[in-house]
Amino acid sequence: MQARLNVFGSDATARVIKHFAAAGKAVATGTTLPQATRELVLLRVSQINGCAGCVDMHTKDAVHAGETTERLFMVAAWREAPCFTDAERAALELAEHGTRIADAAGGVPDDVWANAAKHYDEEQLAGLVATIAVINAFNRLNVLTQQPAGDYQPGMYA
């Protein structure tokens, strides 16, 4: 696939990407949200949005961080997969509802939020919300501009 736009060659998109990346790094390093949970959420949201570049990146980053390939294979079917904790399931459910806002009038249902709040404290919930928001922004930029996937190596944008 040929990219529609060189996002790193455009001053406007390069500045935006810099801020998106800083926001993602702030969540990764500034909250107590478990890294494994964060990686699962990044992958699931990217799957929903059909962002090949982010699926490539976050699968490889998760493996690099010690996640098993078996669990990564099951992220798309997390409801039926016994390999996820109740807390991880709550995070994935929140991620799905937070990504598919247009599919449900009224946004994220109260019961979905309450389930996540059973497993995560306020700081971790803030980290989840920020992670979901930032990856959705990245996904949209990549999908709109048809960024190619497959060449990512863990840490190459660090």
Which whole-number Å values give the CA distances from 115 to 57, 91, 103, 109, 111, in the listed order?
28, 9, 20, 10, 6
Q: Give the three-class secondary structure for 27.
A: helix
Asked if residue 158 has pLDDT above 80, the reply is no
pTM (two decimals):
0.93
With contact defined as beta carbons under 8 Å apart, do 107 and 101 qualify? yes
Asked if residue 59 has pLDDT above 80, the reply is yes
> pLDDT of 31-48, one tens digit each?
999 999 999 999 999 999
Closest CA to 85 of 118, 134, 108, 133: 118
pLDDT average, residue stretch 40-69: 96
pLDDT at res. 6: 83
pLDDT at res. 108: 93
> pLDDT of 65-96, one tens digit each?
999 999 999 999 999 999 999 999 999 999 99
% pLDDT > 70, the chain: 99
pLDDT at res. 2: 87
